[in-house]
């Protein structure tokens, strides 16, 4: 039997699952129409378009007032994910809700950002948050910096992962490609994080910075390399992995001393 593709998780069964979570919080939700439209509409589509279609159908059948729709969807999210993994397995069904936040809340900054914060505790808000960073750069960075000090590991990771200049499968953030300095406070808050889940995000963000601003990134690494903690040593080595592959002398020297 062929392995089920990721896109195939987002079909009629997903619509039934979502309906069952929404209906208790919004009795007027037309679950029959929702299930029928998702079943018919998603069949020819790939993953991203399936997520968009499902979010569009949610938008069509939930209250027209965005804040009211968000309250219903937030209530439907259920328990938080207490593990550092599982957001793409047990929490996969939240992805269309994250797409809803990504597409429809641009005029409601704080309502949407708080919504995304709750989403990321169950799945991930790394894609949803990016349109808000683009539209509200100063407010977003200030809030993400605050999130980088939160106790919830998923929120801390989001503060970094959502702002990656070149996040895979997402539109790049040109503002940070042109000037990554607004990310420094967030990265500095996370450079000694105990969670490997967060450490990977920090290292990948620095790796992104290396692609467009290698001198800036290397300066940051050298600053971090002064009496680094064990957690920071791991981040530094992982952030330098592509520089090491390229044979960059400074990177080779730093990593050799960290071993």
**Buried/exposed code over 191-211 (b: 16+ C-beta within 10 A; e: otherwise):** bebebebbbbbbbbbbbbbbe
Count of positions (residues) in the chain: 259
Look-up of token digits 């992982």: 238
Single pTM value for the model: 0.95
**Residue 26: what pLDDT?**
98
Residue ranges covered by each domain of the chain: 1-128
Residue 188 has pLDDT above 50, yes or no: yes
**Residue 217: what pLDDT?**
98
Mean pLDDT of 170-193: 98
- Please state the separation of Cα 119 from the chain's center in Å: 9
More confident residue, 91 or 106: 106
Confidence band of 89 (pLDDT split at 50, 70, 90)? confident
Tokens of 142: 């200030």
CB atoms within 10 A of CB 24: 11
Whether the CA torsion 82, 79, 134, 52 is positive or negative: it is: positive
pLDDT one-digit tens code per residue, 200-251:
999 999 999 999 999 999 999 999 999 999 999 999 999 999 999 999 999 9
**Buried/exposed code over 93-125 (b: 16+ C-beta within 10 A; e: otherwise):** bbbbbbbbbbbbbeebeebbbebbbbbbbbbbb
pLDDT one-digit tens code per residue, 103-151:
999 999 999 999 999 999 999 999 999 999 999 999 999 999 999 999 9
């Amino acid at each position: 039997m062929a392995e089920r593709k990721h896109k195939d998780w987002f079909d009629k069964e997903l619509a039934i699952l979502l309906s069952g979570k929404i209906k208790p919080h919004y009795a007027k939700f037309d679950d029959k129409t929702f299930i029928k439209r998702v079943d018919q509409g998603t069949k020819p589509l790939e993953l991203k378009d399936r997520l968009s279609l499902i979010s569009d159908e949610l938008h069509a059948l939930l209250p027209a007032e965005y804040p009211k729709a968000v309250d219903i969807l937030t209530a439907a999210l259920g328990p938080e994910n207490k593990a550092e993994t599982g957001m793409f397995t047990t929490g996969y069904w939240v992805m269309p809700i994250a797409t809803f936040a990504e597409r429809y809340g641009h005029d409601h900054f704080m309502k949407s950002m708080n919504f995304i914060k709750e989403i990321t505790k169950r799945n991930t808000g790394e894609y949803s948050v990016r349109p808000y960073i683009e539209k509200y750069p100063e407010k977003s960075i200030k809030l993400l910096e605050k999130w980088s000090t939160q106790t919830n590991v998923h929120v801390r990771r989001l503060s970094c992962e959502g702002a990656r200049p070149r996040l895979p499968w997402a539109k790049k953030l040109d503002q940070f490609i042109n000037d990554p300095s607004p990310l420094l406070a967030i990265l500095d808050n996370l450079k000694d994080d105990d969670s490997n889940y967060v450490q990977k995000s920090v290292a990948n963000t620095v790796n992104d910075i290396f692609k467009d601003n290698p001198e800036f990134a290397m300066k940051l690494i050298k600053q971090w390399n002064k009496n680094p903690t064990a957690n920071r040593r791991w981040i530094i080595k992982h952030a330098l992995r592509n520089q090491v592959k390229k044979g960059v002398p400074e990177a080779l020297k730093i990593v050799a001393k960290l071993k």
